[in-house]
Structure 1
Amino acid sequence: MPVLNEEKLILETLQALAAQLRPDFTLVVVDNGSTDASQAIVAEFAALNPGMDIRLISEPEKGTGAAADTGMRFGALNGARWLARTDADCLPAPDWTLRIMDAFDDGLEMIAGQLNPRLDEGLSRGQRWLMLGAVEVASFFGRIRPGNKGEGYLGPYQMLPGCNMAITADLYLRSGGFPRTSIEELHEDRALSNRVRKLTRAYALRRNVVVFGSSRRVKAWGLPNTLAWYADHRYRPEHVDIR
């Protein structure tokens, strides 16, 4: 779980992970240069929940790609067979880790989960449905996008939410993992999906692997601009780290 100045939301994320029906996992929190109370909140939560295996490490190189890669490699190089990622503004469903392991048991090597809007950010039902529809449209256009086509791909493009995905440690290392980029440079989740597609067909969307993500970018930028941001940064705001 990469973290940058998430003191407003990270405690709820930690609580959601503590409530997992399958709790046999190590949580690696990668602080990416926070200047707020994020690290202190994680440390206090770990002290109050000694039954959870929580590791707090740092990555000074700014970027969601760099921070996510540091965390994934920490797991892979310390004996983990399976890796999963969420973000510090998200709420994994209680059966998130359980459903991920079911998918691995079915033979998948990489899993894309279902990303739903959080229910506690003041969105109406209609707005949430509109956001869900936008995700489906983005997934469709990802499959026909020229940048996701070419020689060497073994299967179709799969949109991979960075805050709701899982991959075997072996495949992560073989693929090269997330590119160590900043969010302004490259969407690291799309890059990883395309790297994996050249190595295996054992990847898929599992809609029962659910994470509720923050809609703060949509609220700050509007839905059209947010979609343009994720479509190769066609919208480039002055500030991308919305908190």
Structure 2
Amino acid sequence: MNALHSTAPTHPLSIAVPVLNEEKLIRQTLDSLTAQRNPDFTVVLVDNGSTDRSCAIVAEFAAAHPGMDLRLVHEAQKGTGAAADTGMRFGVDHGATWLARTDSDCLAAPDWTEKIMAAFDDGLELVAGQLVPRLDEGVSAGERRLMLLAVEVASFFGRIRPGNKGEGYQGPYQMLPGCNMAITADLYRRSGGFPRTRIEDLHEDRALSNQVRKLTRNYGLRRNVVVYGSSRRVKAWGLKNTLAWYADHRYRPENVDIR
């Protein structure tokens, strides 16, 4: 059987990576995962209907890196929630103890998996990482600082947002970057996981965070768990519109899949 389509058990840490028409950036994402100091993981790439060379690039990369455990699965239901959930449940169903997620336009810091495992060793069941703008997209230092500040402001307002309040929560709201998070397989199963939605309809990371808060207080932000994320939406929409989109979809562009 082709290793990409193997049904063998995963490593204890399984990383889900949704993919949709990312031929320009996915090789860089895979390079960043290959460079991890702690290489004891499986990468589950979930193709969400790509029409470009994304899957071919994954196959080429796998052939060039036979020592890396890469799996490729397909999810026909459109949506980051559906694709992410398929990738996470692949890990759950194939024996993983811990799950993580990043996206196919992101670069994981070299110690990303190492710091994730340290957070689990500290007793966390859900880890929210630090999202930093990529350095290779022509964004100035000042713009990057402004974007980092915007993330902090969004995190603060998330805690007072009415939609994140209610009965049954065991702890405060924690903003959860979908492209930089990790969770135990047991908690993912108990919480119901990412809702199988489109990002146009619901932010699946916010929904998962709120589901987890009803089950445990063992979650939190680890700023040393770093992923460098794409600024494509900010460059296309502007910072104000991007924040409005992520806050509550007040800004609704015709196309959210910026490439």
Give the TM-score normalised by structure 2. Answer: 0.94
Give the share of equivalent positions with the same residue, in percent. 81
Q: How do 1:162-181 residues align onto structure 2 when only pairs under 5 Å count?
A: 162-181=178-197
Which consecutive aligned stretches of 4+ in structure 1 deviate over 2 angstroms post-superposition? none
* Residue 190 of structure 1 pairs with residue 202 of structure 2: no
Shift of 1:116: 0.2
Please give the per-residue CA displacement for 1:168-223, whole angstroms capped at 9, x wherever unaligned. Answer: 00000000000000010000000000000000000000000000000000000000
- Which one of 185, 189, 203 corresponds to residue 219 of structure 2? 203
- Which one of 104, 109, 117 corresponds to residue 88 of structure 1? 104
Residue 13 of structure 2 is matched in structure 1 by none
* Residue 231 of structure 1 pairs with residue 235 of structure 2: no
Shift of 1:12: 0.2
Residues in 1 aligned to 2:168 and 2:26: alpha-carbon distance in whole angstroms: 39
- Which one of 61, 68, 89 corresponds to residue 52 of structure 1? 68
Shift of 1:225: 0.1
Please give the per-residue CA displacement for 1:68-90, whole angstroms capped at 9, x wherever unaligned. Answer: 00000000110000000000000
Equivalent residue of 1:220, what SS? helix
* Residue 157 of structure 1 pairs with residue 173 of structure 2: yes
Residue 118 of structure 2 is matched in structure 1 by 102
Please give the per-residue CA displacement for 1:55-77, whole angstroms capped at 9, x wherever unaligned. Answer: 00000000000000000000011
Residues in 2 aligned to 1:115 and 1:166: alpha-carbon distance in whole angstroms: 13
Residue 258 of structure 2 is matched in structure 1 by 242
Amino acid of the structure 1 residue aligned with 2:112: W
Residues in 2 aligned to 1:239 and 1:76: alpha-carbon distance in whole angstroms: 32
Residue 5 of structure 2 is matched in structure 1 by none
Residue 135 of structure 1 is matched in structure 2 by 151
Equivalent residue of 2:248, what SS? coil
* Residue 219 of structure 1 pairs with residue 235 of structure 2: yes
Please give the per-residue CA displacement for 1:82-135, whole angstroms capped at 9, x wherever unaligned. Answer: 000000000000000000000000000000000000000011110000000000
